[in-house]
Amino acid sequence: MKNNEETVKKAIESILNQDFPDKFMEIIVVDGESKDKTLSIVMDSVLDNAMKVKIYSDGGKGLSEARQIVVNNAEGEYIVWVDGDVVVPKDFVRKQVEFMEQNPRVGIAVGKFGYKEGTLVATLQSLRHYTGNRFTGNDATICRVEALRQVGGFDIHIKGACEDLDLMTRIKARGWALSVNEKAKFYHACKEAWRDLWTEQNWFGYGGHYVWHKHKGLFALWDKVPLLIFLGAFKKAVRAYKMMHQKKSFLIPLAMLFENIAWWFGFAKAHMDNYGHN
């Protein structure tokens, strides 16, 4: 978590309210040197709970370092990632653990993105992810610790985003399956302003440059050409409209084009910074 004072209270309360037995859970908090009240809100929230709590700082080293701190200190068989802007229903952990127990070859299982309205920007993102039904990142994911440690955990040289894409690529290469658990729903507080969405996608593009080089063309760059993104987004818009019957669904292509351009700016910045070339 980092500077999540507006969302982290609901996130931590949703974790504390899980119907999974407390004695089989621990809470590991890693703060990215937040400049707001994030850490104090979490510490106040966990003060009188029955679960073991460990609190660390990433020392300003970033998301990969933060996640690796969790891997290094986790005592259980699974790690359930819950970011500081995510809320999970009370049955989330139970349903994720049940899924992993029933599917022993799955190394990572993402929960099902739940629909949540907000500003126009946030609603369009939520519509797209909810109706897209695809395997995404670590917002609310369960990982098998055996698989995590088998590949050495996270690459702490990654600055910012795409540490999850890198990890998933390496875990899949070791023969583990990646899956979506449709029964484990979660809710993500999507970016509410265009400026914040630009910053986020720019960050993704920056990290994307690193993993693209590390994994020798992990994804095809021509798939990210703005015109193709815009045209392909119409299928997502139609699907979203059929599922949700909201006319604003047809604005999804414009939002995705905006995201794509921001992503390319980040990708180009990383290239100029020589980030990922070595």
Whether the CB-CB separation of 256 and 197 falls below 8 Å is answered with no
Question: Does 170 share its domain with 203?
Answer: no
Question: Does 200 share its domain with 159?
Answer: no
Task: Output the pTM of the full model.
Answer: 0.91
Report the amino acid identity of residue 187. Answer: Y
Domain total of the chain: 2
Q: Which of 189, 216, 238 is the last residue of a domain?
A: 189
Question: Does 20 share its domain with 83?
Answer: yes
Question: Does 63 share its domain with 165?
Answer: yes
The residues with which 28 forms a beta bridge, in sequence order, are: 54
Question: Does 114 share its domain with 226?
Answer: no
Question: Does 198 share its domain with 183?
Answer: no
Q: Which of 189, 208, 239 is the last residue of a domain?
A: 189
Question: Does 184 share its domain with 213?
Answer: no
Question: Does 16 share its domain with 55?
Answer: yes
| Average pLDDT of adjacent 10-residue blocks, the chain of 278 residues | 93 95 94 94 89 92 93 96 94 97 96 92 92 72 96 90 93 95 93 96 95 90 91 91 94 96 97 91
The reported pLDDT for the residue numbered 261 is 97
Q: Which long-range contacts (CB under 8 A, 24 or more apart) does 127-130 make?
A: 127/240, 127/244, 127/246, 127/248, 127/249, 127/252, 128/236, 128/240, 128/252, 128/255, 128/256, 129/188, 129/190, 130/240, 130/243, 130/244
Residue 210: domain span: 193-278
Question: Does 161 share its domain with 225?
Answer: no
The reported pLDDT for the residue numbered 133 is 57
Question: Does 125 share its domain with 244?
Answer: no
The reported pLDDT for the residue numbered 131 is 84
The reported pLDDT for the residue numbered 248 is 95
Question: Does 8 share its domain with 130?
Answer: yes
- Dihedral over alpha carbons 14, 166, 67, 113 (to 10 degrees): -10
The reported pLDDT for the residue numbered 96 is 97
Question: Does 62 share its domain with 159?
Answer: yes
Q: Which of 189, 212, 236 is the last residue of a domain?
A: 189
- Return the CATH number at 122: 3.90.550.10
